[in-house]
Structure 1
Amino acid sequence: MELFLDTAQVDEIREARDWGVLDGVTTNPSHVAASGRPFLEVVREICALVDGPVSAEVTATLADEMMEQGRLLSRVAPNVVVKVPATREGIKAIRQFSDEGISTNATLVFTPAQALLAAKAGATYVSPFVGRLDAIQHHGMELVEQIRRIHDNYSFPTKLLVAAVRHPDHVVEAALIGADAATLRLDVLRSLYEHPLVNIGLQQFLDDWARIPNAFRRYEL
């Protein structure tokens, strides 16, 4: 399963990239606004930092305007994926983007019907927002299971990208279901490494090792 970082902070991207597990980046208008920098400048820098896909979102609500913005974004770098809301106008734009060979990420997906329409329109990725569904007492991962089944039933090439990931269990559940990718904040990505028993065990090993005199010196050439 691919792991994407959900951010527009280049320092976070550099940190995650250096861990050797980062496959791409997703952004949105809120992330870019928080960076306080010009939108296209941020997108261009992110695309230069990672080899994988970088989802950059349009802000228009009408298909024609989405197409104008998306074409501009697609020219920023070859790894740009145009992020489009899964509305009626958005699905229309995704169809046109697909016909032009422009990669897309159908975002704000909350129902299997939206995902089906996005896949039929030729979306490269479809992004169900599991955390937001959980927050209103829906089971977000159930939606992921439904989309996985739909994609498999009809052999859609659209990739299932789990979004609005709130904790490590979301990542594990997505992997068990067979999601193609998950996008997460840096703090959630960090937490995938963490377990209290690791720290306890490591400290015990280090303490025991410290009692061995000149442990490595005897092997010096």
Structure 2
Amino acid sequence: MSKNLLEQLRSMTVVVADTGDIQQIEKYKPQDATTNPSLITTVAQMPEYQKVVDDTLAQAQKDAGANASQTDIGRLAFERLAVAFGLTILKIIPGRVSTEVDARLSYDTKATLDVARGIIKLYEAAGVSRDRVLIKIASTWEGIKAAEILEKEGIHCNLTLLFGIHQAIACAEAGVTLISPFVGRILDWYKKDSGKDSYPAPEDPGVLSVTEIYNYYKKFGYKTEVMGASFRNLGEITELAGCDLLTIAPKFLAELQNSTEELPRKLDAAKAAKMDIKKISMDKATFEKMHAADKMASDKLDEGIKGFSKALEDLEKLLADKLANINEAKAA
């Protein structure tokens, strides 16, 4: 019997579940999993997870103290809830879970460090080794510098909202464990900018960006792993077969599982090592110059941070409102 696309992909790429839904993770059994505020918001409203949410809120209210506002409790609850779902996910998967730092701190190195260390403490207090956790941080210069410090402390990082080669090089030189270039969001920008409705998969700008980053890393022997993310269609995934990791939403995992086409390897470390690629020396000035020159990366990083921040604010409001309802019910 022919192997389906998902089985073939797993033979050359680590498959990560881009969802916080425990049932979907149990169904597709990925190596790793990743979450973000939008995913957690969706899951937090599902009936089957209400006990986890209620218990987390109660503990956050207790730990925040009697004088804390519902907004403060909601903020603390998000961090606890992200870890609570992370702990649940780690019981299912053999690998690592990514847990995100507040995107509103993306340009604050010190604050990012404080929150990241706090997340790791929560995992370790629950008996989980830091080797099984990736701290998700936006790929700003300040975020990359925070990740460089965290990596030296043995706290592994997943640099997200990555759209340009300059971000990727800075991450590699900082010794970051993993990067998540956003394939689909790059495509979105180019479609809007060019007026095109679509691109053939091999010419997809997101695919080309990740391919360039992958080849650069393998050419110069960087240990940082490349995890393609944010897909818009199946072609983007199959064109990146051979990438270190791909984080894939359940919709596309199902499509991969239901297809038995042949899947050739597209990215190959051995071939990349022989390519003629120029090495770029990266410092803050070079990073900022390249970032300013790359309108797509500048636009999408800014948009992504705003989007993640809004999703977090929405989740905090949802949690604060839920807590108010719980307290009102208790007082009645």
Q: Secondary structure at the match of 2:87?
A: helix
**Equivalent residue in structure 1 for 2:225, among 133, 144, 159:** 159
1:133 to partner: Cα distance = 0.8
Alignment correspondent of 2:113? 67
Q: Secondary structure at the match of 1:137?
A: helix
1:196 to partner: Cα distance = 9.2
Contact 1:131–1:165 (8 Å) recurs in 2: yes
1:39 to partner: Cα distance = 2.4
Matches of 1:96 and 1:33, distance apart in 2: 30
1:40 to partner: Cα distance = 2.2
Contact 1:166–1:184 (8 Å) recurs in 2: no
Q: Deviations over 1:60-114 (max 9, x none)?
A: 3311121122122223132111111100210111110111111111100000110
Aligned residues: 191
Correspondence 1:34-73 to 2 at 5 A: 34-36=42-44, 37=53, 38-59=81-102, 60-61=105-106, 62-73=108-119
Structure 2 residue runs of 5 or longer lacking an equivalent are 1-12, 45-52, 54-80, 192-204, 262-332
Q: Deviations over 1:157-198 (max 9, x none)?
A: 0001000022222221111xx31000010110010022499x
Matched, 1:170 2:236: yes
* Runs of 4+ deviating beyond 3 Å: none
RMSD (Å), alpha carbons: 1.6
CA separation of 1:73/1:156 partners in 2, compared to 1, >3 Å: closer, same or farther? Answer: same
Please report the TM-score for the alignment, with normalisation by the length of structure 1: 0.81
Structure 1 residue runs of 5 or longer lacking an equivalent are 198-221
Alignment correspondent of 2:156? 103
Higher relative contact order (CA 8 A, sep 6+): 2
1:153 to partner: Cα distance = 2.4
Q: Secondary structure at the match of 2:230?
A: strand
In terms of fraction of residues, the more strand-rich structure is 1
Amino acid at match of 1:156: Y
